[in-house]
Amino acid sequence: MWAPVTTAAPITTSLADRYQAIRDQTEALASVLSPEDQVVQSMPDVSPTKWHRAHITWFFETFLLVANGAKPVEEYYGYLFNSYYESVGERHARADRGLITRPNNTEVADYRRRVDAAMHTLMSSDLGAEPETIALIELGLHHEQQHQELLLMDIKHVLSCNPFAPAYIERATPTHAAVPELGWLDREGGIVGIGHAGEGFHFDNEGPRHRALVSPHRLADRLVTNGEWLQFMAAGGYADPALWLSSGWHTINAEGWDSPMYWQRSDDGWAAHTLVGTHPIDPSEPVVHVSYFEADAFARWAGARLPTEFEWESAAAELGVDGNFLGADSLHPTRAAGQGLRQMFGDVWEWTSSAYGPYPGFTPAAGAVGEYNGKFMIDQQVLRGGCCVTPDGHMRATYRNFFPTQSRWMFSGVRLADNGPAESGGGQ
């Protein structure tokens, strides 16, 4: 059975050791799956497990090995496993990645081993000590951790399409328990610092650090639960056009949505497909797999709104980065516990009301790696905080994730905000 590999390595751990630990984690996640599991693409947004394993290997090979004079393991791998780097060359269509039956799993594993061996040689050389080389390796490692999360959310969708909805790892039904009533924490607002500054890795879209004006507001002290979402559904939330943005109303009707993704109704009530099996809905757990449209409609029904990313970050910056991440081995959101502002990190990615765009003074990195984030700054919303399948050591208060408004196959959920006591109340 799969066991998580610790990737939150101490500062004293060498770059080569961290490199290998993160690479090993990807293989550990994939080892649970059969070769047949690893080639399926269940929708255009999903990539096969085998493709994830090969793509992140191609990233290291292309930007670190070939860029410094090495010969590719196979020339045609560049066409198959490039994702969106237009300046590197042509690539296979994203929606057709499930057609890549060859190279097979064994050949992809060999590809990974050969690139890893070459990377260790590079890291032990004088070139490996160059700041630019170290920065690219760090980027590649965080890129691999992103794909570890993608691998799990993608295989969840793949397995859900099987008529028997098999689990990634089968586990017993969790015990239901009460969760505290939703409370509110007042935030004074003011001019706050936003974005990454100082030492430590960050993606380019997290900077530059700048000032932003945040008005006085309140944040919910925990995430919205399944039980509260059931109330929204029972009140006709999916049938009331007054709650929905125009595009959202069109989407839920075109797609036939009347509940979060992976929920299914039976004679015994609602259940949901998860990575650890199909289980009855636990009212105390955070709701997950809802789109921005659904999150926004729920907030409106509850007499509240979604937080801005600046409200979220200014609150999260006061907390330690601690939560239900991949290393906790739950593979599923867990109920709130404790006091104060809870679940800001881990469990579910939290939708914000902020459109994904550049910070003032943002400049993409030079070269092909500059295509990493900047080119997607259109038609997306920002999500914050990480989720239950985000690798440990990968998250920061400044981390900006982004997805289109209709997406919900990722582990996305809801935290409410409002402008103060006079704004609270609503459908709950």
Tens-place pLDDT, residues 347-393:
999 999 999 999 999 988 777 676 676 788 899 999 999 999 999 99
User: What is the token pair recorded at 18?
Assistant: 């961290």
Residues of the chain with CATH 1.20.120: 15-160
Q: Are strands 349-355 and 277-280 parallel, antiparallel or unpaired?
A: unpaired
Beta bridge pairs of residue 403:
381
Q: Name the superfamily (CATH) of residues 184-423.
A: paralog of FGE (formylglycine-generating enzyme) (3.90.1580.10)
Distance (Å, whole) CA 160 – CA 272 = 10
Residues of the chain with CATH 3.90.1580.10: 184-423
Distance (Å, whole) CA 34 – CA 31 = 8
One-character DSSP codes across 45-62: T---HHHHHHHHHHHHII
One-character DSSP codes across 350-394: EEEEEE--PPTT--PPSSGGGGTTGGG-SS-EEEES--TTSPTT-
For residue 393, how many other CB atoms are within 10 A of its CB?
Answer: 21
Q: Which residue has the tokens 């509260």?
A: 228
Fold of 15-160: Four Helix Bundle (Hemerythrin (Met), subunit A) (1.20.120)
Tens-place pLDDT, residues 65-117:
999 999 999 999 999 999 878 778 899 999 999 999 999 999 999 999 999 99
Q: What is the pTM of this model?
A: 0.94
User: Per 3-state DSSP, what percentage of the chain is helix, strand, and coil (rounded to 5)?
Assistant: 40, 15, 50
**Digitized pLDDT (tens) for each residue of the chain, 428 residues in all:** 445 544 444 445 799 999 999 999 999 999 999 999 999 999 999 999 999 999 999 999 999 999 999 999 999 999 999 987 877 889 999 999 999 999 999 999 999 999 999 999 999 999 999 999 999 999 999 999 999 999 999 999 999 999 999 999 998 877 778 888 999 999 998 999 999 998 899 999 999 999 999 999 999 999 999 999 999 999 999 999 999 999 999 999 999 999 999 999 988 899 999 999 999 999 999 999 999 999 999 999 999 999 999 999 999 999 999 999 999 999 999 999 989 999 999 999 999 999 999 999 998 877 767 667 678 889 999 999 999 999 999 999 999 999 999 999 999 999 999 997 644 444 44
Kindly list the distances between the CA atom of residue 97 and the CA atoms of 33, 52, 103, 126, 211, in Å, as whole numbers in the listed order.
18, 10, 12, 37, 42
Distance (Å, whole) CA 226 – CA 259 = 10
38 alpha carbon, distance to own chain's centre: 20
